[in-house]
């Protein structure tokens, strides 16, 4: 018997499977999807692999599987389907995809182990270093740059082998074991006898260190160890894997629904695949549908997966569900869990002992055998698109794959649905579920900042907004102000020589953060300390040009020194503890002004405000992305839910005649979506066309340009489907890690693309290709 295995090798040159012989002792145990250890390469270093297929014949298999990895996770048929979906993206390797699907808690790291063959020839300083590292070295350990160390390897005094190490090492504890066979041979003192009596009275021969110290001193324990009456060893304290549950029956309360909620619920067919778009205005309407869906599915012995865009939103939803349905078991998954909690949560899930799984983007890969419904909360949020690392994927697409596999409903929810989802409604691919529009509407007051300039107002606040702010403070009422720009200033300019502070790595303008007194690049996240001295002319004339949230905070503190201000941005909400602290401050009314970026509208449980003001509404509108109009509309619409209708929402803009502000002012959502879709159609943008980019990197610019132009020609005349190719153009970061970079922009109407011919014909030559499917690289 033979196994077709995908070996854990990152390089794009090894994007294939390999056949291995199955040893006789593993034939009955080995199954498709299991993890195995295999020898790989000329030196036959051990690598992790996953079994994709078991077959009876192979002409390629020369090596044998070493062992099955002892773990609870394996790739099931559903996850294989998801992997195939992700592998539709050109230039993506199988290893990268499977690494993404497999939880890191179950994966392995590779270390170089140093074996000393001739100890007397190894210098003491190298011996000491190796002993300190327990003879395991990372691949980039500084010791590999040591000339003497390299010589010892060449002379075969030292040998390097690559070994696998579990990324999650279970915690260990010291345990003491009673050696009954040695008792008659030894004379014991009274205290030693008293100590041993605790073992014998409870009929326990093993005790932990904590238990031992309750009835014996360190001195007594050491004496017993010397006499070999007890032994001391380390023992894993990892909890045993729970038994797989055959059923998950619990008592559940009846979920009362209003008339409108009941009407929505009865439109959902829970027994077949269908994608629903649930549009709501009130949070409690959405939660009622969630609760009803959970109860309905649990009664059918099914499980529910709920995905949220941000980690900070997980705990509030968990608390609501646990309060309303206290008997159900909920698992939480996200990357901020420590290894122990992550392992325990996944053990519970793998044994099918949970009813509901709540997580962020990566939870789409969690294996659930009895999945009954899949919910994506705030489906319009870009956080559901993986755009930071390869492979790029859209959670909504993968969710559809899972929903089709299980024949279950996929429910997308949003207050402000994405244009793509609205288009799918028009194409009758999604079913719209919309709660009735509430009668009480938010009023908007648009302020044209160009007119403020004509009046001589150079400050960030218009006269009318600042006057209303002061009135609200005098009434001891709360104000919410939004400016969607982090830091103090988005860039700095020298007033003498016109020098602009830029990142030395990617050549982009650096943002000045006043509170930390640093300059930070928003592209590569490089930081450096701030100095007002210009590095070019040496004058102390480096000044801010534009302003961000920290500038507004400073401005308000100078104008209103007694007012309590709380600044809220993504840095302030990096963990749930910080989130809870901020919510507590708001609920206790310890602040007068909440000043925030778009993080405010991430469904946070923030109370109503008497005054809501939006500064520089143009910032999002002028962003270099086709989604700028859509994102601005969504942001402004969602922030109105914090207004208690006593005053209009004040919006400051230099483009007050833009159709976004007009449709908001007249509460005309339908017109906005019509105009936005018409814009996309005329410009041949999604959802009518697909847009992707190919990022090409090479150490030699002239060769890079030649490869890019050659690729453009082949893509334009590709016979499988018409593709419009724009470029090549420079991305914002023209050079990275000593590689020059160019972009090709592709517009096409059918997916997936079939670009295997590029690799087969070696059109890329020595260049590196990244297919940016969602065109996020700029």
Report, as an integer, the average pLDDT of 152-164.
Answer: 86
| C-alpha–C-alpha distance, residues 364 and 313, integer Å | 16
DSSP string, 348-399: HHHTT--SEEEE-GGGGG---TTEEEEEETTTT-GGGEE-SSSSPEEHHHHH
| Residues 667, 701 within the same domain | no
Cβ of 305: how many Cβ atoms within 10 Å? Answer: 25
| Residue 630: strand, helix, or coil | helix
Check pLDDT > 80 for residue 360. Answer: yes
| Residues forming beta bridges with residue 529, ordered by sequence position | 518
Does some domain include residue 391? no
User: In this predicted structure, which of 165-169, 286-290, 523-527, 597-601 has the lowest mean pLDDT?
Assistant: 165-169
Whether residues 297 and 361 fall in one domain: yes
Residue 203 confidence (pLDDT)? 46
Q: How many CB atoms lie within 10 A of CB 17?
A: 18
Distance CA(633)–CA(692), nearest Å, equals: 24
pLDDT on residue 701: 96
* 526 and 563 fall within a common domain: no
What confidence tier does 534 reach under pLDDT thresholds 50, 70, 90? confident
Residues 430 and 450 grouped into a single domain: no
Segment 256-275 mean pLDDT: 93
- Residue 395 is predicted with a pLDDT of 97
Look up the pTM and report it.
0.83
pLDDT (mean) for 533-559: 84
In a domain, 254, yes or no: no
522 is in an annotated binding site: no
**CA distance to 12, 58, 586, per residue, from 38 (Å):** 19, 17, 56
8 A C-beta contact, residue 620 and residue 597: no
pLDDT of 509 higher than 70 = yes
Alpha-helical runs (H) found in 155-189: none
DSSP 8-class letter at 63: S
How many structural domains are present in the chain? Answer: 7
Has residue 249 got a pLDDT over 80?
A: no
Ranges assigned E (strand) in 591-737 = 593-596, 611-614, 649-653, 690-698, 724-729, 735-736
pLDDT for 470: 94
| Cβ proximity of 744 and 715 under 8 Å | yes
646 and 763 together in one domain: no
> Cα separation of 69 and 66, whole Å?
10
Higher pLDDT, 73 or 266: 266
**The pLDDT value given to residue 348:** 87
Mean pLDDT over 136-146 rounds to 84
Q: For strand 274-279 and strand 409-414, is the pairing parallel, antiparallel, or unpaired? A: parallel
Residue 249 resides in a domain:
no
Q: What is the mean pLDDT of residues 549-553?
A: 87
Contact 745, 774 (CB under 8 A): no
Q: Domain end: 74, 102, 130, which one?
A: 102
CATH number assigned to the domain comprising residue 21: 3.40.1440.60
Q: Are residues 25 and 68 in the same domain?
A: yes
Are 468 and 599 within one domain? yes
Whether 200 has a pLDDT exceeding 70, the answer reads no
pLDDT for position 639: 81
Please report whether residue 251 resides in a domain.
no
Is 17 marked as a binding-site residue?
no
Query: Which has more confidence, 202 or 550?
Result: 550
The 10s digit of each residue's pLDDT in 729-762 is 998 888 888 899 999 999 999 999 989 899 889 9
Based on the fold, state whether residues 754 and 695 are members of the same structural domain: yes
For 99, residues 6+ apart whose C-beta sits below 8 A from its C-beta are 8, 107
Instruction: Collect all residues with Cβ–Cβ distance below 8 Å to 386 and sequence separation of at least 6.
Output: 361, 392, 393, 394, 395
**Domain end (from 236, 268, 289):** 236
Residue 581: inside a domain: yes
Question: pLDDT tens digit string along 480-505?
Answer: 999 887 777 676 778 778 787 887 76
Annotated binding residue 195: no
The 10s digit of each residue's pLDDT in 436-466 is 887 667 788 899 988 988 888 888 899 999 9
pLDDT, one tens digit per residue, over 23-80 is: 998 998 899 999 898 998 887 888 889 999 999 999 999 999 988 886 566 889 999 9
> Above 60 in pLDDT, residue 247?
no
Residue-wise pLDDT tens digits, 100-140? 998 888 777 788 888 888 888 888 888 889 888 888 888 78
Residue 698 backbone dihedrals phi, psi, to 5 degrees: -160, 150
For the cut 70, the answer to whether the pLDDT of residue 277 exceeds it is: yes
Instruction: Assign residue 661 the CATH number of its domain.
Output: 3.40.50.300
Long-range pairs, 459-467, Cβ under 8 A, ≥24: 459/555, 460/547, 460/551, 460/552, 460/555, 460/615, 460/616, 461/555, 461/615, 461/652, 462/650, 462/652, 464/650, 465/613, 465/650, 465/652
272 is in an annotated binding site: no
pLDDT at 146: 86
Q: Domain check: are 530 and 561 in the same one?
A: no
Q: Are 318 and 332 in contact (CB under 8 A)?
A: yes
The CB density around residue 361, as the number of other CB atoms within 10 Å, is 22
pLDDT band at 506 (very low <50, low <70, confident <90, very high): low
Note whether residue 244 is domain-resident: no
Of 55, 74, 102, the last residue of a domain is 102
Of these ranges, 369-373, 600-604, 760-764, the one predicted with the greatest mean pLDDT is: 369-373
Q: Averaging pLDDT over each range in 177-181, 336-340, 681-685, which range is the top one?
A: 681-685
Least confident of 150-154, 529-533, 749-753: 529-533
Q: Does 15 have pLDDT greater than 90?
A: no
Instruction: Work out the percent of the chain whose per-residue pLDDT is above 70.
Output: 88
Which residue range(s) make up the domain with 582? 444-485+552-680
Three-state SS for 303?
Answer: strand
Cβ atoms < 10 Å from Cβ of 164: 18
User: Does one domain contain both 569 and 605?
Assistant: yes
Quickly state the pLDDT bin for 575 (edges 50, 70, 90). low
Average of per-residue pLDDT values in the chain: 85
Structure confidence by residue, pLDDT tens digits, 424-435: 999 999 999 999
CB 161, CB 45: distance < 8 Å: yes
Q: What are phi and psi of 60, to 5 degrees?
A: -100, -20
Q: What number is the average pLDDT over the span 12-19?
A: 83
Q: Let me know: does 73 contact 346? Beta carbons within 8 Å.
A: yes
The mean pLDDT value for 656-681 works out to 87
Residues 457 and 558 in one domain: yes
Q: 210-214, 237-241, 499-503: lowest mean pLDDT where?
A: 237-241
* Residue 245 covered by a domain: no
Asked if residue 456 and residue 425 are part of one domain, the reply reads no
Cβ 321 vs Cβ 291: under 8 Å = yes
Give pLDDT, residue 239.
Answer: 52
Q: For 14, which DSSP code? A: G
pLDDT at 355 over 50: yes
pLDDT category at 641 given cuts 50, 70, 90 is confident
Instruction: Count CB-CB contacts under 10 A for residue 751.
Output: 12
The secondary structure of residue 156, as a DSSP letter, is T
- Does the residue 13 lie in any domain? yes
């Amino acid at each position: 018997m033979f196994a077709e295995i995908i070996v854990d090798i990152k390089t794009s040159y090894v994007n294939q499977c390999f056949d291995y012989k199955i040893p006789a002792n593993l034939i009955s145990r080995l199954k498709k999807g299991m993890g195995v250890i295999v020898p790989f390469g000329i030196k036959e270093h051990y690598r992790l692999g996953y079994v994709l297929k078991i077959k009876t014949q192979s002409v390629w298999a020369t090596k044998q599987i070493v062992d099955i990895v002892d773990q609870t996770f394996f790739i099931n048929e559903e996850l294989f389907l998801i992997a195939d979906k992700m592998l539709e993206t050109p230039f993506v390797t199988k290893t990268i995809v499977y690494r993404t699907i497999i939880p890191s808690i179950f994966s392995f790291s590779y270390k170089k182990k140093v074996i000393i063959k001739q100890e007397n020839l190894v210098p003491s300083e190298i011996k000491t270093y190796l002993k300190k590292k327990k003879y395991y070295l990372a691949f980039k350990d500084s010791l590999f740059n040591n000339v003497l160390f390299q010589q010892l390897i060449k002379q075969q005094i030292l040998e390097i082998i690559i070994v696998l190490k579990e990324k999650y090492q279970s915690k260990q504890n010291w345990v003491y074991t009673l050696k009954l066979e040695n008792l008659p041979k030894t004379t014991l003192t009274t205290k030693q006898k008293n100590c041993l009596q605790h073992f014998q009275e409870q009929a326990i021969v093993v005790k932990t260190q904590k238990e031992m110290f309750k009835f014996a001193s360190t001195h007594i324990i050491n004496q017993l160890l010397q006499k070999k009456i007890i032994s001391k060893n380390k023992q894993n304290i990892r909890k045993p894997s729970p038994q797989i549950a055959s059923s998950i029956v619990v008592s559940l309360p009846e979920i009362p629904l209003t008339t409108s909620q009941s009407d929505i619920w009865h439109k959902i067919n829970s027994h077949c695949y269908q994608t629903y778009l649930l549009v709501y205005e009130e949070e409690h309407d959405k939660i009622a549908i969630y609760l009803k869906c959970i109860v309905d599915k649990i009664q059918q012995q099914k499980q529910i997966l709920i995905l949220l865009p941000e980690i900070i939103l997980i705990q509030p939803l968990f608390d609501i569900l646990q309060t309303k349905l206290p008997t159900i078991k909920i698992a939480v998954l996200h990357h901020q869990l420590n290894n122990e909690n992550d392992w325990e949560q996944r053990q519970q899930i793998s044994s099918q002992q949970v009813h509901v799984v709540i997580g962020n983007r990566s939870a789409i890969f969690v294996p659930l055998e009895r999945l009954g419904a899949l919910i994506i909360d705030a489906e319009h949020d870009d956080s559901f698109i993986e755009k930071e690392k390869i492979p790029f994927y859209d959670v909504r697409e993968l969710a559809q794959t899972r929903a089709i596999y299980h024949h279950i409903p996929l429910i997308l929810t949003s207050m402000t649905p994405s244009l793509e989802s609205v288009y799918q409604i028009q194409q009758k691919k999604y079913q719209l579920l919309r709660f009735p529009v509430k009668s009480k509407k938010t009023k908007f007051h648009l302020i044209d900042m160009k007119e403020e300039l004509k009046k001589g107002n150079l400050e960030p606040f218009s006269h009318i907004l600042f006057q209303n702010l002061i009135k609200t403070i005098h009434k001891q009422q709360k104000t919410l102000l939004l400016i969607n720009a982090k830091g103090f200033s988005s860039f700095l300019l020298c007033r003498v020589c016109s020098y602009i502070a830029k990142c030395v790595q990617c050549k982009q303008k650096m943002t000045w953060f006043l509170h930390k007194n640093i300059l930070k690049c928003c592209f590569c996240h490089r930081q450096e300390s701030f100095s007002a001295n210009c590095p070019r002319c040496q004058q102390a004339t480096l000044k801010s040009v534009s302003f961000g949230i920290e500038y507004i905070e400073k401005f308000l503190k100078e104008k209103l020194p007694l007012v309590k201000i709380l600044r809220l941005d993504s840095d302030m909400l990096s963990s749930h503890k910080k989130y809870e602290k901020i919510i507590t401050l708001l609920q206790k009314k310890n602040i007068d002004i909440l000043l925030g970026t778009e993080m405010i509208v991430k469904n946070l449980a923030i109370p109503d405000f008497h005054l809501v003001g939006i500064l520089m509404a143009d910032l999002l509108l002028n962003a270099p992305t086709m989604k700028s109009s859509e994102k601005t509309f969504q942001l402004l619409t969602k922030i109105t839910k914090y207004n208690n209708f006593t005053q209009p929402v004040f919006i400051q803009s230099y483009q007050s005649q833009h159709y976004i502000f007009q449709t908001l002012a007249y509460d005309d959502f339908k017109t906005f979506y019509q105009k936005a879709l018409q814009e996309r159609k005329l410009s041949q943008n999604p959802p009518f066309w697909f847009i992707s980019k190919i990022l090409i990197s090479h150490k030699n610019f002239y060769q890079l340009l030649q490869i890019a132009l050659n690729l453009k020609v082949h893509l334009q005349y590709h016979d499988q489907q018409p593709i419009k190719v724009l470029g090549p153009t420079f991305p914002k970061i023209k050079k990275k890690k000593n590689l020059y970079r160019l972009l090709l922009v592709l517009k096409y109407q059918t997916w997936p693309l079939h670009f295997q011919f590029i690799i087969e014909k070696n059109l890329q030559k020595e260049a590196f290709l990244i297919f940016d499917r969602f065109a996020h690289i700029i």
